[in-house]
Each structure stands twice: as structure tokens, then as C-alpha cells.
Amino acid sequence: KFMDECKAMKISVLAPDVNESEMNFTVNSKGDVRFGLGGVKGVGEGAVTAIIAEREKNGPFKDIYDFAERCNYTAVNRKCFENIAMSGGFDSIIDFSRGKFLAVDDKGESFVDALVRYGTRIQSERNNAQQSLFGGDSGVIDIQKPQIPSGGDAVALELLNKEKELIGLYLSAHPLDEYKMLLNAKCSATLSALSDLSRYQGKEIAVAGIVT
């Protein structure tokens, strides 16, 4: 109901974003409604607080590797990382499909796992360097970034269903969007309009939806 109201008022409702979202729904500088990170299934209050604190302290996350390097893994676990990715939380800092996060390499490791392992190793090496009397002056740690998988370009419907599972609704698109012209031509009523059947008495009607 609220999503339909926003559409009617030309207000965009945007997916969660690690660089803009707060705990709950907020309005950004453009007047769009931004989904809160706390609304993503499996992402707890501690994880959201840690992400926001890091962002406010050291600035926006530049890319997915920057997030992996700065992530607080005591608050953000692997499943939490995956759920943020699949709900669109990293869309503003990646230039590839969300599906690649779950793609598996030839060693059987997913891209999410590789990123978490990379991030924890970077942080461990930095801590060791700071604690060592013989730490190098440069502070540069040479750990190779995991490669973005070649596979993992999941079907759009799979990604949308995952999005709905994690945040409770379709945000980035809707599975029926590609049939919009056909539905507009063939449907004589909306499902919500059927709450008042008296107006359709004696008429034949056609509606569309998704069976779940």
C-alpha cells in the first residue's frame, strides 16, 4: 500500500545502501526514501551500528574491497555480508551483478567467502604490523584482492526473489515489469480494487498477479 502511494506521488523508494542507509527508513538529499539496513533479514542492529560508525569515521566506502578491508567482522559475519550484498546494499560501489557474490571459483569458494577472508587477513596483517617493533615504515600490505568471478550472472527473477526474501518486497524492479504493456492492455481491474465488488457486478473482469 505504501509503495503504491509512493509511486503515485513520484517518490522513489531505494534499496538499502552501505553508504547512505541508516538503521531505519530515511529520506536522502534528493527527497527519495532510502531503505534502512536494519530492515534487511539477518542484518542485526550491531552490524548496522558498526557499518555506520566506520562510514562516519573514515568516509564512504569506495568499492567492495574497501568495504571488506574496513568491515568490523566481530559485528558483521559472513551471512550478514551476503545478505547485504543480495539485498542491493553494495550496488552503489560495484559494477557487476549481485549474483556474482554467490558465484563459486574453481576451488569451490564463493566470492563472498573470498572477500571476507581477504578482509580479515588484511586486518590481521595490519594489527601484526602495528604491534611489531620491526614493522615496515611503509605500512603497505601486499595481499592480492580476490578476482571478480566470470560466472554468477544470475537470472533477473532469481535476484528479485532473493531481494524480496531479504527485505520483504520487490524494490529494484518487479517480476511483471517486462509484461507491463500486455497487462495494461488486457487487465480491466487491479487486485486491490476487488475489495469493492459491487462496482463490477455483471461485468467480466481480468486481473493479473503472481501465484506464490
- Band of residue 98 on the pLDDT scale cut at 50, 70, 90: very high
- In angstroms, the CA 2 to CA 183 distance is 22
Measured CA to CA, the distance from residue 78 to residue 211 in angstroms comes to 32
Mean pLDDT of the chain: 90
Nearest by Cα to 94 from 115, 108, 73: 115
**Distance (Å, rounded) from C-alpha 148 to C-alpha 144?**
12
Residue 54: the pLDDT is 97
The letter for the amino acid at 100 is K
Contact by Cβ (8 Å): 149, 98:
no
Give me the pLDDT at residue 142, please: 77
C-alpha to C-alpha distance for 127 and 121, rounded to whole angstroms:
10
Task: Check residue 96 and give its pLDDT.
Answer: 93
Asked if residue 128 has pLDDT above 60, the reply is yes
pLDDT tens string 31-65:
999 999 999 999 999 999 999 999 999 999 999 99
- Grid coordinates given for 137: 615504515
% pLDDT > 90, the chain: 65
pLDDT value at residue 109: 92
How confident is the model at residue 204, as a pLDDT?
93
What was the pLDDT predicted at 190?
Answer: 87
> In the predicted model, is pLDDT for residue 189 greater than 80?
yes
CA dist 63 to 93, 94, 128, Å?
5, 6, 25
Of 50-59, 89-98, 128-137, 154-163, the range with the lowest mean pLDDT is 128-137
